[in-house]
Chains A and B, each alone.
Chain A
Amino acid sequence: ETGVTQSPTHLIKTRGQQVTLRCSSQSGHNTVSWYQQALGQGPQFIFQYYREEENGRGNFPPRFSGLQFPNYSSELNVNALELDDSALYLCASSQDSNQPQHFGDGTRLSIL
């Protein structure tokens, strides 16, 4: 059984650029959630997708957007990057929106 996979593992961008992060959910999982984890803090919920529809959103501005595809993989897009966007971005998938979530290895994004 393949777990949650994320790409890329590391990324360096400059302020004002745009970035797309990708996530493949675990086999049999239809729900994907995205989190931002700053150094030394717990993960912060960005949004969740359930069967291709956004199913909840945290306190992040509209320049954070996402998609879920028919195979339940997902993308996180961030426009107009800011220095504070530097963080570990985590994707988690679950069998359903109310089941335990399992995390991928994350994408470490650095903004210069």
Chain B
Amino acid sequence: QKEVEQNSGPLSVPEGAIASLNCTYSDRGSQSFFWYRQYSGKSPELIMFIYSNGDKEDGRFTAQLNKASQYVSLLIRDSQPSDSATYLCAVRSQAAGNKLTFGGGTRVLVKP
């Protein structure tokens, strides 16, 4: 079992719709959770982080965390073609030395 798992996609979403991305993790001691966006040929860009159970909203993005289910998700509302990218879920555990463990990423395609 991979430490952090994501569906590789592609997740195809019509422009203006909601994109829903999921991520599961295996380390119950994980404390911090991050979503990065990576355009093709570029480096990852931090878009959201969440530390506590529940929802966290920032503009069109909402991160949802459920530690009991070891599940974190990202919702992108009013999806735009510029949201087409690979979205990386990353998890950090202090016990693991504060390193970030990444999933393989979900490729999102927003179609006009």
Contacts and interface: CB of A to CB of B under 8 A. Distances in A.
Interface string B84-104: 000010101010111111111
Interface in A38-92: 40-45, 48, 55-58, 88, 90, 92
B42 interface: yes
B43 A104 contact: yes
A97 B101 CA distance: 14
Nearest to B36: A103
A101 B43 contact: no
B25 interface: no
Contacts of A33: 99-100
Interface residues of A, number: 25
Contact of B102 (A43, A48, A57, A102): A43
B44 A90 contact: yes
B20 to A, nearest CB: 19
Interface string B3-24: 0100000000000000000000
Nearest to A104: B43
Contacts of B103: 42
B32 A98 contact: yes
Given A55-B98, A98-B32, A100-B49, A105 B42 contact: yes
B3 to A, nearest CB: 10
Most chain B beta-carbon neighbours within 10 Å: one of A43, A48, A58, A103: A43
B30 to A, nearest CB: 13
Given A40-B104, A55-B98, 19 more contacts: A33-B99, A42-B88, A42-B103, A43-B100, A43-B102, A45-B100, A55-B97, A56-B99, A90-B43, A92-B100, A98-B98, A100-B49, A101-B34, A101-B100, A102-B46, A103-B43, A103-B45, A105-B42, A105-B43
